[in-house]
Each structure stands twice: as structure tokens, then as C-alpha cells.
Structure 1
């Protein structure tokens, strides 16, 4: 294992260990119930948890919850669960997420816990102030993605071991969108207001809403995906392009992240729809078919194109 150059606050570590040893079953039960519907603990619910369990503040609460967030992890290949907790700047709510792997595809479709949170925040039109992990040690792939889509280089990375780092400590000189002449992602910005999709296509409204929010400045292909569930719900996701190209996220990956956050699984999906532009240098269709076959093989897959 690599050497850790960052000192941890042992006082914080001792306090987290003490709280978890005494209160973790009750804390996880209460917090898990609050996050059950959508993987979100509201700002008001955070206040209730802080008061009920005698915690110092929301940051201390976050340090205690990565273990709970592992419920959103789906590491079907490695078995290595990563739970992550993100604090939204705009709402004060906590987002819970985890890593995902897809058997039958390839490792490049793996979704890391940290990128899961950043993609969820992007889908919600928000940014992140802090992320709590079991250990504040994201891989280089995640550091690049967080530098573009978490909201700011001042993003805090914390853990129950007592680390409190800024993303800039871990990635002090990032390759940023300015290198390719782009200003970067802006939370909630409608980038493609003129997208049009033919009438009569299933999930048309959801595909249009997601596609218009897609961050696709490099391929000019604002792709979107929508999952229709057996209960009638429709969950969507938009393409998120990194200035480094890899790590970028396909729209179906983002839609799956949003589905898992709502407690859904592949077996719930009856239809998968993808919309993108024709004749772009990059197409999402092949990877989407591969991922769809692995995640929801029973679902009908349909590919559509935005109208010129």
C-alpha cells in the first residue's frame, strides 16, 4: 500500500470510533429510514440526527455515515464496497451513494463512489461542499471528475479517521476545461435548449429534459437515457463529458445511478431509451447496449435521434 503523506486528527478518530461503537445501530436505522426514498437526508433531518445523537455538527454526522452509504454499492465483481456521503451546497442535504460494477461488461464501465455522488449532484442541479468516505483517498480518476463536477477546488474530503483535506491538496494543478476552450459545467444550466425529439417516442419528455441539461461541449452530442420501470416511473440521466475525455459518464450510467438512489434495480426496468445526435464523433449506443444487457437484460432497448 502507498504511504499516506497527510496527518489525521486522532481526536476526531477517537470520537468517531466512540460514537459508532455506542450508537451506530440506532444512528444507521434512523438515518437509513430518512434516506430510504431517494438516498437523500434533508437539511432538516440532519438537524434532527445531530440533536438526537449529540453530534457536533453536520460534518461530524457525515464522517459517521459512509458505512451506511455502502447500501448503495453494487460491486458485483470485486466485492469491495465504497460508501460516500456528499453535502450539497445549495440545499444543505446529504446525498448517499456507492460504487457499482457490471458483470458481463468491462471494467471501464465501473462507477466509483465519489463519481456516483458527483453525477447525482449534477442530475439534481447542485454542487458539493464536502464528501465523506471511509478513507479520504479517492483515486486519480475520481479526483479529475470531482475537480470538474463537484463544484469547486475547495471541496472538502473527510473521513472518520480524522482527515480533512481540500481537493486541491490531492490534485493541486488539474487539467481543467479552459485547456479546451470551455468554461466547464455549471450546475442546473440548460445547455441545449433547442433539442427536438419526434412525437410518439416513449419517455420523450424525460429524454428532452435530460438532454437539454447534458454537459457535452467536446462531442456536441447531448445524449440522454431514460429507464421506464414496471411501476410506471421514469428515471433519466444525461451525458457528462470530462475535459480529459476519460473519465466521462454515459447517460445510461447516470440514469442507473439515479435509479439505485431511489432503491431501484435492474429487474425493475422494462424499457431503456437512448437519445443522441446522428453523425457525431462519439456515439453512446454501443456502450449503452452492452450496459443494458448486463444491467437489465429483460428490458427492451430503443435508440432515438434528436431531430435536425
Structure 2
């Protein structure tokens, strides 16, 4: 992954390149630029925030995995904390297209995984599709959210998605990034760190419509543990599965699918839906042999 980021570096303005280099080559860099570094980049480049974000997009797009479309999309979510969260599209060969993750989804998932409480704006390499506009509309800050595009400038989400349908239409007042965690417990207690991480991800997930809270934790061959959470959507289909979430985070951490050694799905029992079958299909295609599915209540 570092090689891809370094390949994208020359696409940035020269005033940014040498100041960005130590950030992206840091071993702990996982697609997040903290607020202090953002301030320094603005100071050294003399770029206003929208221009700075547009300039950084090639780095976000470097995370793209697009073996089907060969169309690399990058997105950056700017959180209320001032941190920047990268995201990129992710496609799976030999699988249905509905498994694909859009760049805007990936960036929001990145911010959600870091417990951000607000997203101020999203900067994208290309105009967001309707699927992504609906996904962004799930954010509790959607009424104030703006989208930054190189071709057409800054537009509000409300302009891009007029007469929208969202959480409020289904009676949900605490939507994405504002909803409180739940308190599930495992049906069969376990002290396993991987199981506990999956349980925490399930408790932190967002599922106000189905209440099928779910999380996945995986362990890489090097022992790194990464988690992902379910993100539900009022329109249902744009929802992000816990498997999609964890694989996005795996990619941002610089790992490949072949680096997965073990994976555990924890989901709430006795709901009207389940992530089990869809997860099993993709996990089998990926080739993860050490996979478990556990229930919580």
C-alpha cells in the first residue's frame, strides 16, 4: 500500500509533497490525517480547505481496488474533529456487483470506525451516484453536509438529493454518528480477544431499522486485529455490511485479503434478518478457512 501512496504523491502540488511524505510513510498511517497535520499542510501549502482536500484526493484514490470497473474513485470525509478520513471504491472479482463498496461509503465507514460524531463535508474525485447520496443522507449531520467536487465546486447534499427520504421518515431521530451503542452479550461467553472485538463492533454498529446489530473482527497472519461494523440505511439497499466494513478497514491498514488468518461474525439473535448467509458466501470466495458465526442477545 505504501508503494501505491508514494506513486500517487507526485500528483499533489509540489508545495504539499514533502510535507505529506512523512505522514503517509509513517508505519501507523491507515488512511487518516489528524487535525494537527491538516493545519500544518494548510500552513505550508497556503491552500484553503476545499482546495487542500481536492489536492489530497489522489492519495485516497490510491486505496481503490477496482478489478472490474478499472475506475478508481477516492473520497475524503472531513470530521468535526478536523481529522480527514480517506475512502476508496472496493470491488470483488467473481461476485455480484452489490458487494461493491463506494468511495463515499468507505470514507464514512472510516470516520465511523474512529468514533467521530460529525462529518462536515465529503470531497470526491467524481460526482456521487444516487446510492452514495442516499448513504450520506443517513448521517445525522446530513442537513448541513456539503460535497466538494473538482468539476462543479461545493454543493449541499440537499441540492444533490432533493425531496430526500431518510431516517426521520421512519421515526429515527438519532441517526448515523449520533446513535448510542447497544449492550449485547454473547449467548456463549468467550474470553477470546477476537470474539470480544467482534462483540464490541456489534454493540457499536448502527441498525435502527432491523435491530440486527452486527460486527466482524478479523486477525491477520501478522496478528493484527481489525474490526468492522454494520451501517444500516433507511433505504435498506445502500446499507454497508459488517464484512464490507471490516474489509475496507483491512485495506486501509495496508493488508490484502490473503493476509486474513481468522474471522468472527457476531450478530444479534432472533431478528427478522441475518448477515450469516451473505457473509459466508463472500468469506468462502475470499478463502478464509478459520471463520466463526456467533449470536448475541
- State if a TM-score over 0.5 links the two structures: yes
CA drift of 1:226 comes to 0.9
Alignment of 1:74-223 (within 5 A): 74-89=65-80, 91-126=81-116, 127-135=118-126, 137-149=127-139, 151-161=141-151, 163-187=153-177, 189-200=179-190, 202=192, 203-223=194-214
Counterpart Cα distance in 2 of 1:150 and 1:31:
30
Alignment of 1:1-308 (within 5 A): 20=12, 22-23=14-15, 26=18, 29-30=21-22, 32-33=24-25, 37-53=29-45, 55-89=46-80, 91-126=81-116, 127-135=118-126, 137-149=127-139, 151-161=141-151, 163-187=153-177, 189-200=179-190, 202=192, 203-294=194-285, 296-306=286-296, 308=297
CA contact (8 A) 1:197 1:208 kept: no
- Deviations 1:177-229, CA, capped at 9 Å, x for gaps: 12222224242643322433523364122122111111112212111111111
- Alignment TM-score, normalising by the size of structure 2: 0.88
Q: Which runs of 4+ in 1 moved over 6 A?
A: none
Count of residue pairs the alignment pairs up: 285
- Deviations 1:118-164, CA, capped at 9 Å, x for gaps: 122222221211111123x1000000100113732221211333511
- Classify 1:206/1:43 alpha carbon distance in 2 versus 1 (closer, same or farther; 3 Å): same
Per the alignment, in what secondary structure is the counterpart of residue 302 of structure 1?
A: strand
Counterpart Cα distance in 2 of 1:34 and 1:60:
24
- Classify 1:167/1:106 alpha carbon distance in 2 versus 1 (closer, same or farther; 3 Å): same
Per the alignment, in what secondary structure is the counterpart of residue 84 of structure 1?
A: strand
Q: Which runs of 5+ in 2 are unaligned?
A: 1-10
- Alignment TM-score, normalising by the size of structure 1: 0.85
Q: RMSD in angstroms over aligned alpha carbons?
A: 2.3
Counterpart Cα distance in 2 of 1:92 and 1:247:
26
Per the alignment, in what secondary structure is the counterpart of residue 259 of structure 1?
A: helix
Counterpart Cα distance in 1 of 2:140 and 2:27:
21
CA drift of 1:244 comes to 0.8
CA contact (8 A) 1:34 1:40 kept: no
CA drift of 1:36 comes to 6.0
